[in-house]
Structure formats: C-alpha cells, structure tokens
Chains A and B, each alone.
Chain A
C-alpha cells in the first residue's frame, strides 16, 4: 500500500510513467531497488504539483493574452486572439490540456516574440548551464579546501575568519556582490568586461567559424582563435566568481561541520588513542566519510544555484534562462514564464532524484 500512494496523484500528469520502472521487474526483494522505485515515482507528483501551482498562480491574474497585449489591441481583436488560443474555455479543460501538452513535450508558444518555449529553453539553457558549471567549479575550489582548513583548525583565528567570511558570503545578495566586483574590476581597474558573454567581434567570429553548441567556451575553442577564447573566458570570470563565492560559502560551512562531526566519532577517537597524528587522522580517517553528506547537499543546492543564476545573469546581462525569464516576466508574457518555470520544476525534481540515488548508493543508512 505504501508504494502505490505516490503513484496515484502522478497518474494524470504522466500516464506513461508507471511503465518504465515495471520493466525493471518486481523489486520487492531488494530494499535498494524498492527505495529507488518509490523515489522515482515521487518525481511525478512533485512535477505535477509544481506545474499546477504555477498554472493556478499565473491564471489567477487572468488570461495571458490580456496580460501581455491588453491595451495594445482593440477589445475585439483581443477577444479573437483569446478565442484562438482557447483561453475562453473552462479553466479545468485548459488545465488538462496544458498537462497533456507538457507530457507531449510542448510547453507552448511565447506571446511577445512568438517562439516555441522549447526553442527558447534550448537557446538560453546552454548559457545558464555554462554559468552554473563555472559557478559550481569556483564554489568547489573555494569551499572544500577552505572548509577542511577551518575544521582542522577549529576555533583558531583562521577558523573564525573563515566562518565569518562564509556568513558574510551568505549575507551578501549575489547581485550586490556582482555589482561590487564589476565596479572594482571592470570600472575602476578596467581589467575585465562589464557585461555580456562575449564581445561583438568574438560572437560574430564564433557564429561564422566555430561550432554552434551555445556553450561559448566550446564554440570559442572550435574557432581555434586564441583571442576569441580569452575574450570568452574574460567575460565568464566575474559572473562565475560571483555565483561561486556565494555558493562556496555554503560549501565551506558544510565541509567544516561535517569534518568536525567525523573528527569526533568513535573510530577517529580510537585511531587517535593509537597515536595516529592529527594530520593523518584528518587525511585518512575523517575526510572521506565527511564527504558523503556533502555530495548530497551539493546536489540539493540546485534550486539555490538556479535562483542565484537568475540574479547573476540579470546583473551581468548574461543571456541565459534567468535573464530571459526576467524579460518575459517584465513583458507579462506568462505563457513563456509558465513554460520556463515548468522546465525548472522538471530540472529540480530530476536533480533531487539523482542526488538521492547517489546518496543511497553511497550510504546504506539512507535506504530502508
């Protein structure tokens, strides 16, 4: 009875859903498989709920056509377009219709520039992906080593400094940090570009000579032109550092707390009593077990990274999903907003699933 419950609400959103895991056979025997199955089925209600919440919230304000074009068209034209798009049907019908089209992978067509939302997602998704990966790299490079240092010198001056720094990183809004970095490095020192993903010349060159993956670093490398590559990298530094510093502060705290936790365990204590030195204790005994929860929580920061990316992209005019989302929001193009938010919901649900699977594979205590 327990494992059927999560599947029930999922049914309307994804009729195809329950089939996939069944192919894996009946997992009743293995607790791990059972856990994975339940966890997998839980994706669907999560997505369904988020998509529904977004639908209801945006529809509370009226139909998208009036919101986007109201005042610019005559009432008759408006009515006609509303009718064409089917927004005069009962809300329940529209809702089911919407869910159905999402299952088919159709997220609608934007009103303001009349593009399929999926195309918008593909175009700008790569930019966001690139930014998030850079940000994550910076965060890991900062957070993990510094967290280890802080934990190994617990309550020393260095630890206190790092702790305050990490709280400060939390207290600083990501866009404010971005603006400060911009002010110092782009305006006062003049060493880095102010905004954008590449200069106009590089963009032209990439579109003419390079590949068109949308990931600028790959495109730049494919042109084989050193100037283009360095231009693209220079544009990426400030956004990556901005996003990375904020996230890195979280990782720092996380690593510190966890390493301190494992340093206090019985087996580390036992090793210590055998005369193992403090450095070796940290390196050989306490470090790895401490990393397990960190992997999980790093995965759970996706939502946070996405919020951060929206703000960072706006600060640096990095034309990714977040930047575009804000443009659509300001244009009151709610079809586009709905589609993009639905995609974000899917991303969040999927990452959480992947994270849980990894965690369950690493740590047997999680599955039961």
Chain B
C-alpha cells in the first residue's frame, strides 16, 4: 500500500520514479509487483487466479502423494477390482470410470499430464517461434514475406484441426508415457509457433531500426552477434505474458484432442479430455461423476491461468489499469491477449498479411502491434478515462 509510487507528473522523466528507493527484492519479483500494483476487482481476480494456479501446480507436482491410486490402477491393494462406473463412495471419493479407474486419482494425475504437455509444448513453440521470427524479421526480404504468408495461413486455420493432423503424423509409435505426452505436446507446438513468430518478428523489425543496432553494424559486429545480443534481448519483452495466456489455450487444445480420441492412452497417462470422451456415453444413463470432475478440473485450471494472464495484461496496459497505484510499468508490455476477442480491434488479422507484403518499411506496425495501435489512436490520451467517468 504505502510505497512512494505516487501517480506520475505530466512529463515523465523516463527513469525517475522507481529508482529513488528500491523496494525490497521480493517486492520487485514479476508477479508480486503486479499483485501490489493491483486494486479492487483486479486484485481479486489476480489473487483468485494465483490460488487456482497454485492448486494446479501443487496437484501436478505432488500427484503421487495426493492421489489415492495410480492413474492406470484397476485393483486395490488386496487385488480386488474397483468395478466400472461405481458411484462416489468412501473408497472412491469421486466414483470410478467406465473403464474401472478411480476418478479422483485420474483427475489429480491429469494435472501432471496437463502441466507436462503445456510446459514441453510451449517451450518448443517459444523456442522455434523466436528462432523463426528472429531470422525472418532480421534478414527480411523474400524469405520473410513467404514466412509471413505461411504463418498467417497456418494461424488462420482452426487450431484444433491442425493439432489433430500433427497428432496423426506423430502418433506412430508411442511406447511410453513420455511418448504420449511428447506427441501431444508437439501437436500443440504446431499451433502456437505462428503466434510467437508474429510477435517476435514484429518486435525484431522495430528493434532493428534502433540506433544501437545500426551502431553495432557500423563497427562491424557480425550478424549473429547483433541478432542474439542486441536484437533478441530487446524483442522478447511481451513473451512472458503471451506464454501465460497461451498455456490456457494449450490446455484447452489438449482437452479437445483427448475428447476427439487423439489423446493419451489411459495406461500411459491421465488425460482429462480422454476421460471426458469416455464419459460421453455415461451421460445418457445419468452417470455424472465420470464427466463432471475432469471437466471441472479443466475449467478451473484454464480459469486460473486466464485470470492471472488477463490481470497481468490489464495491469500492463495503462488504459485498462485502475489508477490509484499506477506504477511506472505503463507501456513496457504490449497489449496482448490469448482470449479471442480480447483487446483485439479492427482488421488485426486481415490487414497485416498485406502489411507484410506491401511495405516492409511500415512493418513496424505489423501483426500484433496493429490491434494495439488502433484503439490507442481512438482512445486518445492513455489513462485518463478513469477520472472522466466518475
């Protein structure tokens, strides 16, 4: 509450505010900083999201301790079968599935699968997306144009279908838990690469025009060094936010894959989507516990991640942040959202494909910059709507 971060005076000296008294190191940690910055509804949303995420992570990490049984366990210690579609009872708090697995155990183990798939999938797509975006944006030219058209085409395609196709290609011989999880993770990767490609490429093109890059080039720094040391390090500022928001989309894609029958086999891992697929026929018979719990697990996990991501996004955007504790973070993070229809405005996707083709000089306001630029132009001065409304 009581830091010296008063609202800024009119013409801000860029470095002024945060410097005088550096807050304790833990207060400057990414999420902690935002948590302290937030107020009211925004804070409630952020806290709720953090709690849900914490539950998800704890359940994923401590699954072996928390789950009463293994995810593919069909018999209890005495060798007696659980039985299929048993209603909730003392032994099986959430009942058993049509395949005779313990629902609670599979819900808990499912969080571990989801975490692994999301982490692997996003690491891969971030890595590849950055690599492609960096090379494409830095060197530009013919290759860049083709890459933009390809990325836009793939991006416009229904992501779930893309993931299914990838799953078909990969799912040749999945022999182990890791095989199944890797296959799913790579399928999801395919969906997200274009997004990171677009974001990084737009940033690279912006940074490339900066004076320090030119200076580096003048003194004869090799391309590779300029790319990694000067351009890359200044082009990744928006990524953490996008990763947060994308991880919720990744979980939904994983669930969709599982639901359509391209998930992870029950003997190889607990997959919420797969369980929902198997529970589909239970519904008509009024058996609710096989579908409700895995579904609730998906909803809460995605909800948690989305709430955190949205809150961070709002806090980073001076137009959306509630102002009382406005810190100097404004404008350091672009306005982004993984939720379709979030802060997106006109022509975001349509026009930029042509941007990329038409005028490489204008590329600075390319893909994901566009939706930001538009409402800002409209909204006039950044953060004063709070005052004028009340």
Give A residues with C-beta under 8 Å from B.
2-3, 5-6, 9, 35, 38-39, 42, 45-46, 49-50, 53-54, 57-58, 60-61, 154-155, 160, 164, 167-168, 170-173, 175-176, 179-180, 182-183, 186-188, 194-195, 250-251, 253-254, 257-258, 260-266, 269, 272, 289, 292-293, 296-297, 300-301, 303-304, 306-307, 310-311, 314-315, 325-326, 329-330, 334, 341, 344-345, 348-349, 352, 355-356, 359-360, 363, 365-366
Q: Using known A-B contacts A167-B339, A265-B378, A311-B160, determine if residue A42 contacts B354 with beta carbons closer than 8 Å.
A: yes
Are the C-beta atoms of A183 and B283 separated by less than 8 Å? yes
Shortest beta-carbon distance from A314 to chain B in Å: 6
Bound form: Cα–Cα A141–B322 in Å: 30
Bound form: Cα–Cα A194–B166 in Å: 32
Bound form: Cα–Cα A306–B262 in Å: 18
Are the C-beta atoms of A307 and B350 separated by less than 8 Å? no
Are the C-beta atoms of B295 and A250 separated by less than 8 Å? no
Bound form: Cα–Cα A355–B346 in Å: 10
Which residues of A lie under 8 Å from residue B259 when comparing CB positions? 173, 175, 311, 314
Are the C-beta atoms of A250 and B340 separated by less than 8 Å? yes
Are the C-beta atoms of B156 and A303 separated by less than 8 Å? yes
Bound form: Cα–Cα A189–B5 in Å: 56
Majority SS at the chain B contact face: helix
Which residues of B lie under 8 Å from residue A171 when comparing CB positions? 248, 252, 298-300, 302-303, 306
A-B contact pairs, 24 of them (CB 8 A): A2-B358, A6-B149, A45-B149, A50-B154, A57-B168, A61-B169, A155-B322, A173-B298, A176-B276, A176-B298, A180-B291, A194-B284, A253-B341, A261-B345, A261-B378, A264-B388, A296-B346, A297-B348, A303-B159, A304-B340, A329-B168, A344-B157, A349-B156, A352-B350
Which residues of A lie under 8 Å from residue B222 when comparing CB positions? none
Are the C-beta atoms of B252 and A173 separated by less than 8 Å? yes
Are the C-beta atoms of A179 and B158 separated by less than 8 Å? no
Which residues of A lie under 8 Å from residue B358 when comparing CB positions? 2-3, 38
Q: Using known A-B contacts A179-B283, A326-B261, determine if residue A344 contacts B359 with beta carbons closer than 8 Å.
A: no
Are the C-beta atoms of A293 and B149 separated by less than 8 Å? no
Q: Using known A-B contacts A5-B145, A179-B295, determine if residue A356 contacts B255 with beta carbons closer than 8 Å.
A: no
| Candidates A35, A260, A300; contact of B354 at CB < 8 Å | A35
Are the C-beta atoms of A176 and B160 separated by less than 8 Å? no
Which residues of B lie under 8 Å from residue A186 when comparing CB positions? 283-284
Bound form: Cα–Cα A180–B295 in Å: 9
Which residues of B lie under 8 Å from residue A38 when comparing CB positions? 354, 357-358
Bound form: Cα–Cα A365–B346 in Å: 10
Bound form: Cα–Cα A262–B378 in Å: 7
Whether, in the assembled complex, B165 has its beta carbon less than 8 Å from a beta carbon of chain A, the answer is: yes
Most buried by A among B158, B262, B280, B342: B158
Whether, in the assembled complex, B307 has its beta carbon less than 8 Å from a beta carbon of chain A, the answer is: yes
| Candidates B165, B262, B349; contact of A57 at CB < 8 Å | B165
Shortest beta-carbon distance from A363 to chain B in Å: 6
Shortest beta-carbon distance from B156 to chain A in Å: 5
Which residues of B lie under 8 Å from residue A366 when comparing CB positions? 346-347, 350-351
Q: Using known A-B contacts A167-B303, A168-B303, determine if residue A173 contacts B295 with beta carbons closer than 8 Å.
A: yes
Whether, in the assembled complex, B256 has its beta carbon less than 8 Å from a beta carbon of chain A, the answer is: yes
